[in-house]
Structure 1
Amino acid sequence: MYRATVSLLALALSSPAVAQSVDAKSGSGAQGGMPPQSESIIVTGGRVDEGDVAGSADIVGPEDLREFEYGDVNRVLRQVPGVNLQEEDGFGLFPNIGLRGTPVERSSNITLMEDGVLIAPAPYAAPAAYYFPAVGRMAAVEVVKGARAVAYGPRTIGGAVNFRSTPIPVAGFAGSASGQYGSRGYYQGHGWVGGETDNVGALLETFQQGSDGFKTIDGFPNADTGFDRQDYRGRFAVHSSPDAPTDARLELVYGRSELDANETYLGLVDTDFAADPYRRYAASQRDRFTGEHDQYRITGSLRLIDDTKIAATLYRNDFARSWSKLQDIDFDGDGRFEAIQPVFDDPNANPEALAILRGADSAAGALRVRNNNRVYRSQGLQVSLEKPFDTGSLRHNLTVSARIHEDEEDRLQNEDFYSQTAGDLVFVRQTALGAQANREAKADAIAFYFEDRIEFGRLTLTPGIRYEGITLTRLDYDRDDPERLAGPTRTRKTNIDEWLPALGATYDLGNVRLIAGVSRGFSPPGPGNPDARAEKSWNYEAGARFQNNLVSASAIAFYSDYSNLLGNCTQSVGCSVGDIGDQFNGGAVTAKGVELSASATPTIGEAISFPISVAYTFTDAQFDSNFESEFFGSVSAGDALPYLARHQLYAETGVVYGPVSMTLGANYVSKVRTEAGSGPIPVAERVDDRIIFDLAGRFAVTDEVSLFARIDNLLDETYAVARQPTGLRPGAPRRFVGGASLRF
């Protein structure tokens, strides 16, 4: 009852008024009087449309997001070609996203931003995205790949994903509210109210989401395996009057996010998965994630009469998380704790160990649960200047930007020991805070970017260059010194200086625009591992876009030539060598592929339309050398990278008739490897292919109020999404959702 109330609470905040229109493609329309998206990374300075970008640029706009009312970022981003995804928990809480063949591990190989500001917990020192913005509160999502991605950094090989949050509406007072409720206690509520006068604007927003979960823990059939998320946002702005000769604006943003999730990394052996994929072993019953994120941002901008724009953003993000997870087990009671993965590698050879995972009695204190307790801080200042000007017949748009940034990850971890008795984990003892890990990873960075977009007739060239200067520091403290009074026992530093050139080009042939680009790709290594080299590549792309009044389509081929690829040691990939956070060299790698997309809206008369769209990605990523690695294993030239599907397809079709619409989406993902290799994929190293259908319908009761319903996984397909770190884990089963939305 509480969750149903939360879902619908936002509706009580609103009253009918005037419906507003949305331009989903350009991002320049108005939702409740939404202003042009100044925090967009694609639409810049009012002079560059996303269709003119020299490279791959995609926007999932407000109407696209509203179509299914998703709260899962995986389901949103699968609509964009060139995006590689590995699902994990069924709700999109901990996404694994890669772009153009970059490794997907915890989205740590791409640049993540919210409103153009780095949003990963520690983007340089520890980029693994254990905090991820709630996509259900976003106004738009942008994905940039290729030469244009060098503008953002620090990770420029695959590209950047930017989440545009709800801005302050400019057309007086406005608001929006929606609520949905569904199977297994799923709920989602989103509401905001705000407006602007001639000189002042403000917005208040909340997003609530949760579920009871879809898994059942052995021996605890009523246990909660779901999550609860709470988001709160406030914005306040002062600005010049509408009739002022210049446009000056100062905006303050504060956001608070909390997540409590009963999530685990422990999966199932193949036979148990085949019998009941939504089962959870009793040994995982104490696994739980809690996280708290605070976001602060002050942005000042000035637009002059000649369209010159100057902007500066001071930002800070604080994130504290604790993820208690089953780490290892003393299976035979001899005092030696053993890794869990060998049980999944050969369950027939470890029947007693598998029985303990399922709930059998253990020796005293035989199950070790690690408290992965970490605190992150990220802060900095970024400034930009955008200057349009002409020189003779050349039209320029000059961009200069700089960022001073620092971030850190603080690990102060301990462990709990439990005995398993009659299927229940009974607490035995706890180690002191810091006894498992006591260290800091820090980064100080300064970055500059220069770009000049030059238009000459039908040809547009966009040369640019980026500089990244980074100092990475790892501080290790004695594990018996949680207060760190004695100072670090070891300090390791790494200094990095990189220049990253890029060149993009477009040629306008009317309805067809040819595009090409070349850029230097770069990702910094993590602190603390002196043998890890920076990840570098040369990236190439070429293709074409077509658009007329009926159809829009694009086809882009990409090729990334890595001189060195890095493997990130995280618990999510089952890393058992070195320390969590270490990185390992993978040597030369080639990633190539094709991105295709098309959309059209055929009509019958003026009453009925049939929108249709498709996005396809082919990815081939291979190692180019033979080597032995503790992290990558035994690798031969030609071996495919793990967790990268060769084929991904998203197709969507629907019908709109007056106030009624219905949309069917289908997502196909081919089988993937869980370890590097070539040839037929062994069963123990394979996640099978799948096709998932979602169906959504909407009825506009009035211009302001609409009702909607959705069925996720329409055919109730049973499928696995991962085999690492320990065992098979399932995608979400069929879920029915219904709700209502209101705009004024």
Structure 2
Amino acid sequence: MKASFKVGLCALAIQSALVGQAIAEEQAESQPMETITIIGSAAAVNDIPGSANVVTQDQLEAFDYSDVMRVLAQVPGVYVMEEDGYGLRPNIGMRGTGTSRSEKITVMEDGVLVAPAPLAAPAAYYFPTMGRMTGVEVLKGSSAVRHGPRTTGGVLNLISRQIPDDGRDVFADVAIGENNYGKIHAAAAGNKDNIGALLEVYRYQADGFKKLPVNKDTGFVKNDVMFKLKGRSLPGASTYQETELKYKYSDEESDETYMGLTDADFANSPYARYAASQNDKMKTDHHNAQINHFARFSGGTELSSQVYYNKFARNWYKAYKVNGDSLGSGGIDAASAFDKNPTAEGLSVDIKANNREYYSYGIQTEAVMPMGDHNFIIGGRYHYDQMDRFQWADNWMLNQDLSMTLVNAGEPGTDSNRIDSGRTAAGYAQGEFVFGDLQVNAGARYQWVELRRKDWGKTNPSRQGSPDKDVKNTVQAVLPAIGLTYRATDDLVILAGVQKGFAPPAPGNDSAKAEESINYEAGLRYNMGSIGIDAIGFFSDYSNMHGNCTAAQGCDEEKIDNQYNAGEVEIKGLELSANYTADLGAVDMPLRLAYTLTDSQFKNDFESDLDTWGSVKKGDELPYLAKHQLYLRAGLEGNNWTFNVNARYLSDMRTQAGQGTIPADRLIPSRWVMDLGANYRIGEQHKIYLNVDNLTNKVYAATRVHGSLQPGKPRTAILGYRYSF
């Protein structure tokens, strides 16, 4: 294994000592409404006029996933493009927004923006560690208008571990698996005199499932540490208040690459990697600080506020040219040919240090004021973020023995040398009006965004004098939304909504337009006993959809950061989910189905340099958007054991905009992938679990970015043990 568990074991010892000091006591006050959620609880879903899904802690523990892609498969209307197989950098979209680097949705952790620079660089390579989360919320439709800055697709909110209301909570979780997978996860928390604290450590790693022709790993190691401290009012206080400080640190080193395989090589050896990619490596470092404050006043008004700060540094050192050709324009073919027949003159490989630093900060607040049967909500956010790109490229020679020799080291700042920044001020007001069985949620959001780019060019790495380019762009929008829920019976709720969607343009494009759409939805929820059914149809009518040219989109170097306005686009579909738990006497059988039908069309002809769009004709379908997605889960639960199997289906998917039959070189074939999760409890404190991802060892292509195929993760078994009290 590429790194030891010493850090994690030290953390376990520290946590055990802390927990020994935790003292359980009764609390006179009831637990306040969570300030870090956007839905509240699974039970609150029925009162939301739109699509809302909550994945609970029990559901997460059924398979103990560290990959958010596998978690979100059970949520209809969400699309995830797999990339590295471990979920380190997922590509998430909602209702057809596009998936590249999750840039078209709002991603939050504990109710605040978590992307390193959601305005200046929304496609950054960062995602919170899924394995340490205790809940996931997905909100789409009219209710998403409260969150922003992107309101078209929806909101993904990840919920971290909370300090218990009283008593203490401690656990340690260790696991090992194939490809030298290893995990240590531990946390300790307690309360004393209305003061609570929590310390959590999560470390996981693997040597990787791809194989280089040289003796190097293709895996990763990631560390994540979180600390929380919370104080709350003493019993009898006229105004209940609580304040929480959260600090989180994470780092990652992963041997990942953009260099996939040709179709022929994929068919022959799908988990191979070319020798030209052997030096590719991502290194990241992330700091996050957050202060939450909550107050409940005697009249029932609740006020929640958050102040947050993020700092993220990363350098993805990855091959981007082979023999002078980009990966998508002949570079992959050259790398493939050399591995099969190494020549004495070697192979030229250009490796770019995609070195960037990000930081963001903001403050947001929301007040909920009850007025009889109605509620009035007002809130706002100020946010600033920045990305500093300071990149260079090195030239290497791949030798006949497949070793690599540095030929020319580039000077930092001579490839990309600029600062992109964005600031936004937003305010919203929403009324929740109840008229018998009818609830009306009506409101609007005002969003002002300023974007700026300062570019010193490739010949001024010291940034002396004024930048060569200093471009500022300001956009603003008023975003109304209305949602209705009608309780037809005790078990049946009918819902409908309409809202205006918005996404700001990219920095450095002073003439670029914002993305705008009108989004409609209508459906029903049925809940009776152990049966739950949701069926929601949606229609997104874009007056302008935009796409940003990034390396992840396969764009050539000179085109990166260009924005392309697609104009009118229509996306419609159906989200269907159903739950049923059968009582079989000694055991229960939980069943779940989630299905998404999606149809998309560009309504204009236009040209773009995005590898995924290309030359678009009216009527073309959007890329990386499967028409059919299906999730099925079946389980058995006894008194001290559970056994679950799920299956995910994805229909044929095109990798570039088009219509009709999908050409073979632009196709991701349909697939079924199955996972297994089982655990057995020994008393109240011990649990043994077994998870098997890709149970049938299905070989499948996950993506074709850069004109080459990347595989999905093969069968991987993980055995773990958890101790808690």
Distance across 1 between alignment mates of 2:347 and 2:694 = 41
Give, as a single letter, the amino acid of the residue that structure 2 aligns with 1:439: R
Distance across 2 between alignment mates of 1:244 and 1:139 = 30
- 8 Å contact kept, 1:126–1:409: yes
Aligned to 2:639: 658
Deviation at 1:481, TM superposition (A): 2.6
Deviation at 1:530, TM superposition (A): 2.7
Q: Which runs of 5+ in 1 are unaligned?
A: 19-29, 331-336
Distance across 1 between alignment mates of 2:463 and 2:625 = 42
Give, as a single letter, the amino acid of the residue that structure 2 aligns with 1:369: I
**Is the counterpart of residue 383 in structure 1 residue 365 in structure 2?**
yes
CA deviation profile, 1:369-412 (whole Å, cap 9, x unmatched):
0000011111111111111121xxxx211111111111011100
Give, as a single letter, the amino acid of the residue that structure 1 aligns with 2:625: L
Give the match's secondary structure for 2:60.
helix
1:701-740 residue pairs with structure 2 within 5 A?
Answer: 701-740=682-721
Q: 1:361 to 1:424 in 2, by over 3 A?
A: farther
Distance across 2 between alignment mates of 1:76 and 1:11 = 27
- 8 Å contact kept, 1:344–1:727: no
**Is the counterpart of residue 592 in structure 1 residue 572 in structure 2?**
yes
Give, as a single letter, the amino acid of the residue that structure 1 aligns with 2:708: G
Q: 1:7 to 1:726 in 2, by over 3 A?
A: farther
Q: 1:540 to 1:172 in 2, by over 3 A?
A: same
Identity of aligned residues (%): 41
**Is the counterpart of residue 107 in structure 1 residue 89 in structure 2?**
no
**Is the counterpart of residue 41 in structure 1 residue 38 in structure 2?**
yes
Q: 1:34 to 1:648 in 2, by over 3 A?
A: farther
Q: Which runs of 5+ in 2 are unaligned?
A: 21-26
Residue among 190, 207, 212 paired with 2:207 = 212
Of 532-541 and 477-486, deviating more is: 477-486
Distance across 2 between alignment mates of 1:379 and 1:358 = 50
Residue among 529, 535, 549 paired with 2:509 = 529
Give, as a single letter, the amino acid of the residue that structure 1 aligns with 2:487: D
1:173-184 residue pairs with structure 2 within 5 A?
Answer: 173-184=168-179
CA deviation profile, 1:326-377 (whole Å, cap 9, x unmatched):
11122xxxxxx222213379x5xxxx66423667347578211000001111
1:100-139 residue pairs with structure 2 within 5 A?
Answer: 100-139=95-134
Distance across 2 between alignment mates of 1:568 and 1:623 = 16
Give, as a single letter, the amino acid of the residue that structure 2 aligns with 1:251: E
Distance across 2 between alignment mates of 1:489 and 1:357 = 42
- 8 Å contact kept, 2:347–2:399: no
Give the match's secondary structure for 2:392.
strand
- 8 Å contact kept, 1:674–1:685: yes
Give, as a single letter, the amino acid of the residue that structure 2 aligns with 1:727: S
Give the match's secondary structure for 1:356.
helix
Aligned to 2:24: none
Give the match's secondary structure for 2:705.
coil
Residue among 284, 287, 301 paired with 1:291 = 284
Aligned to 2:681: 700
Distance across 1 between alignment mates of 2:78 and 2:9 = 33
**Is the counterpart of residue 406 in structure 1 residue 384 in structure 2?**
yes
- 8 Å contact kept, 1:570–1:581: yes
- 8 Å contact kept, 1:34–1:167: no
Q: 1:526 to 1:299 in 2, by over 3 A?
A: same
Aligned to 1:452: 431
Of 363-372 and 470-479, deviating more is: 363-372
**Is the counterpart of residue 741 in structure 1 residue 719 in structure 2?**
no
1:295-314 residue pairs with structure 2 within 5 A?
Answer: 295-314=288-307
**Is the counterpart of residue 162 in structure 1 residue 143 in structure 2?**
no
Deviation at 1:7, TM superposition (A): 7.5
Distance across 2 between alignment mates of 1:256 and 1:60 = 25
Deviation at 1:9, TM superposition (A): 7.6
**Is the counterpart of residue 259 in structure 1 residue 239 in structure 2?**
no
- 8 Å contact kept, 1:74–1:95: yes
1:566-715 residue pairs with structure 2 within 5 A?
Answer: 566-576=546-556, 578-605=558-585, 607-631=586-610, 632-715=613-696
CA deviation profile, 1:401-455 (whole Å, cap 9, x unmatched):
1111110111000011101112111111211111001011111110001111111
Residue among 309, 329, 353 paired with 1:371 = 353
Aligned to 2:23: none
Residue among 238, 242, 264 paired with 1:271 = 264
Distance across 2 between alignment mates of 1:735 and 1:58 = 28
TM-score relative to the length of structure 2: 0.95
Give the match's secondary structure for 1:355.
helix
Distance across 1 between alignment mates of 2:389 and 2:277 = 23
Aligned to 1:355: 337
Distance across 1 between alignment mates of 2:235 and 2:256 = 50
Q: Deviating runs (4+, > 6 A) in structure 1?
A: 4-12
Distance across 1 between alignment mates of 2:458 and 2:31 = 52
Deviation at 1:573, TM superposition (A): 1.8
- 8 Å contact kept, 2:274–2:335: no
Give the match's secondary structure for 1:244.
coil
Distance across 1 between alignment mates of 2:621 and 2:11 = 48
Aligned residues: 710
1:392-471 residue pairs with structure 2 within 5 A?
Answer: 395-422=373-400, 423-471=402-450
- 8 Å contact kept, 1:4–1:181: no
Distance across 1 between alignment mates of 2:272 and 2:307 = 46
Q: 1:362 to 1:627 in 2, by over 3 A?
A: farther
Q: RMSD value over aligned CA atoms?
A: 2.2
Distance across 1 between alignment mates of 2:4 and 2:654 = 39
Give the match's secondary structure for 1:442.
strand
Q: 1:4 to 1:444 in 2, by over 3 A?
A: closer
CA deviation profile, 1:209-235 (whole Å, cap 9, x unmatched):
1100001112x1x31100000000111
Q: 1:257 to 1:71 in 2, by over 3 A?
A: same
Give the match's secondary structure for 1:725.
helix
**Is the counterpart of residue 342 in structure 1 residue 329 in structure 2?**
yes
TM-score relative to the length of structure 1: 0.92
Distance across 2 between alignment mates of 1:486 and 1:357 = 47
